[in-house]
Chains A and B, each alone.
Chain A
Amino acid sequence: AQRVTQPEKLLSVFKGAPVELKCNYSYSGSPELFWYVQYSRQRLQLLLRHISRESIKGFTADLNKGETSFHLKKPFAQEEDSAMYYCALSRSGTASKLTFGTGTRLQVTL
């Protein structure tokens, strides 16, 4: 069975500090990995996906198949980054069937 683990429920950092939101997964095949974000009073939205290898709002994430991780990183946190972040996995070919982690709330303080 596939599983996504986000070990931290809450991550609190100061503005300008680096951010790393951890995500580990277990899956026997070739997964597709995603990060979703939910800002206060907004709907869940895609932040980035591993196949795109892009940087969105300064965030990047690299899929490490050896460590089965897909950590989300940003070198300098901004106040507007405060939100709930979910790591998600899908089996190749079923991109609409996502397995989500429990989420990490990122709190950026001054």
Chain B
Amino acid sequence: KAGVTQTPRYLIKTRGQQVTLSCSPISGHRSVSWYQQTPGQGLQFLFEYFSETQRNKGNFPGRFSGRQFSNSRSEMNVSTLELGDSALYLCASSTSSGTGGNTIYFGEGSWLTVV
């Protein structure tokens, strides 16, 4: 079974630009969540989508947005990039967003550098 796939793996953007990152979950997984990882703040939850609906949201500004398609693939977008947005963005998928034994599988991440 293929794992969580994220594209692109590496990208460099300029301040003020926008970026879109893509995530393909494991087949059959309907929940996709996104995390930002930085040396200073560690791993922080961005948002989670389940069946095309945002189910949970972290404490990030509105510049960070996401969506999920009917095939469970997800994208996240960051508009008006700032230097502080430089980070590793991780996508994770699971069978559902409920409790009780769901294993969350992470992708390798997309490395974003803002210059």
Contact B94 A96 (CB under 8 A): yes
Number of B residues whose C-beta is below 8 Å from A?
Answer: 30
Most central of A32, A97, A101 by chain B CB within 10 Å? A97
Contact of B45 among A32, A45, A97 (CB under 8 A): A97
**Closest B-chain residue to A101, C-beta based?**
B42
Tell yes or no: A92 within 8 A of B by CB. yes
Which of B45, B92, B98, B107 lies at the interface centre, i.e. has the most chain A CB atoms within 10 A of its CB? B45
Interface size on A, residues (CB 8 A): 22
List, in ascending order, chain A residues with CB within 8 A of B77's CB: none
Chain B 48-89 residues near chain A, CB threshold 8 A: 48, 50, 55-56, 58
A44 adjacent to B56 (CB under 8 Å): no
| Closest partner residue, chain A, to B3 (CB atom) | A43
Given contacts A96-B31, A97-B48, A98-B45, contact A51 B100 (CB under 8 A): yes
User: CB distance A95 to B56 under 8 Å?
Assistant: no
The majority secondary structure among interface residues of chain A is: loop
Asked if B18 CB lies within 8 Å of chain A CBs, one says: no
Could you give, for residues 90-104 of chain A, a 1 whenever the CB lies within 8 Å of some chain B CB and a 0 otherwise?
A: 101111111111110
Across the A-B interface, give the 4 residue pairs with the lowest CB-CB distance, nearest first: A100-B43, A44-B106, A97-B56, A96-B33
Besides A43-B3, A94-B55, 19 more A-B contacts (Cβ < 8 Å) are A43-B4, A44-B106, A45-B105, A46-B105, A49-B101, A93-B98, A94-B97, A95-B94, A95-B99, A95-B100, A95-B102, A95-B104, A96-B50, A96-B94, A96-B104, A97-B56, A98-B45, A99-B45, A100-B43
